[in-house]
Chains A and B, each alone.
Chain A
């Protein structure tokens, strides 16, 4: 996982629980001692350990923590890379650009970013199904990112997750229905 994700996690914990809490977490579980550089890769296990420690410290369920992190991450990424949201006029078009535009740009900059794969289907107007596949199984992070994006675009959405990698499926389906 790229260092930028760790930095955003640090920002979230510092903002919501304070610098001391993050310092304690880093002290406990981070082999890198919290020194993360955006373009550098760090082990997925280190991120999962940090997230686990955050859940424990703040007494929140893991899935909720990851979802909240995703939502927070969207705001941070949107402020760091505003061009991607500026290019898309609405939520659905933005979500559809994740695989074909954003991930393509990420791959230009980083070697082996191990990005998740998205396929899309639109069974009805205002309804988008994102077929998510990733060895990391961070579908709850994707949920949070989608919620963050919906908030950014001011869209009311209903988000369902009927097919999930965590329940034995080979991919996740994230159904997004926007209010027309």
Chain B
């Protein structure tokens, strides 16, 4: 039997060929599996991100409801507390005038001697001199405290507001400029302000609320800068959205707290220095307008907030300089 006609060799080569094909099949399947796995991993990551977003939205909605309820409940008693303090201040002023008159009569001996003695003993026992001095400051501090509570309640209501009244076509570039006029004095010589306001379509919004957003973000940017730095404000249109970015070269926000910064009462400032409502209010207003707000921050380098609002009306293109401009504040 020659080598060529050896049936075992023929069978061996056939088997070898079959095995190679089987291995190829295995490789093809492995590649398919790998690609499917990659797709699944990507879908899983997307799902996780969506879930996190849903949780965040749900949390914010719950906080909104809670804030609205709390604001409403606190607001009623607060109204009469504030009103009563004001009335009390007037009443006390009247009493103090009476007391002054009595003291005058005592000094001028216009009252009978026994009465003067009783009055002097009472004044000494009750330390009227100190009371006269302390009452106005007690009342003023109480009024300050009540006003602070009022401010917090107003912020809570802004955060949770659901009404859609007072919305008109608004030029956001005008809003940015007027907000800057209001707070321009806050910026020292060390802070450079850079504006790049492209012409953008009008947006239907509550301009007071949106200006509040700009104000909170710009003040935050200014507070984040220790020493010299820059605040850059930019706006432009993208697809069916209007985008406003406010960036600073300040301290930045550590990654671990970035997820919390829109939560009501979350603050990194020392007690009494901030209510922790600024960014919560910003978030509430933007969400209520059907927009989004996001941030990118690198500790030590700075923070950039990006607001996207739907272009509800593209009828008019308004405002803005067509070229970049830099203003030193």
A39 touches B23 (CB 8 A): yes
B9 touches A109 (CB 8 A): no
A109 touches B23 (CB 8 A): no
Q: For the complex, what is the distance from the CA of A80 to the CA of B21, rounded to whole Å?
A: 10
B24 touches A108 (CB 8 A): no
- Give the shortest distance, in Å, between B30 (CB) and chain A (any CB): 5
A109 touches B24 (CB 8 A): no
Asked whether any CB of chain A lies closer than 8 Å to the CB of B316, the reply is: no
Asked whether any CB of chain B lies closer than 8 Å to the CB of A37, the reply is: yes
B34 touches A19 (CB 8 A): no
Number of contact residues on A: which range applies?
under 10
Asked whether any CB of chain A lies closer than 8 Å to the CB of B27, the reply is: yes
What residues of chain A lie closer than 8 Å to B31, measured between beta carbons? 108-109
Number of contact residues on B: which range applies?
10 to 19
What residues of chain B lie closer than 8 Å to A108, measured between beta carbons? 30-31, 34
What residues of chain B lie closer than 8 Å to A37, measured between beta carbons? 23
Q: For the complex, what is the distance from the CA of A37 to the CA of B31, rounded to whole Å?
A: 17
User: Which residues of B line the A interface, CB within 8 A?
Assistant: 9, 12, 20, 23-24, 26-27, 30-31, 34
Known: A19-B12, A39-B27, A39-B30. 17 other contacts (CB 8 A): A4-B23, A19-B9, A37-B23, A38-B23, A38-B26, A38-B27, A39-B23, A39-B26, A80-B20, A80-B24, A108-B30, A108-B31, A108-B34, A109-B27, A109-B30, A109-B31, A109-B34
Q: List 20 A-B contacts (CB under 8 A).
A: A4-B23, A19-B9, A19-B12, A37-B23, A38-B23, A38-B26, A38-B27, A39-B23, A39-B26, A39-B27, A39-B30, A80-B20, A80-B24, A108-B30, A108-B31, A108-B34, A109-B27, A109-B30, A109-B31, A109-B34
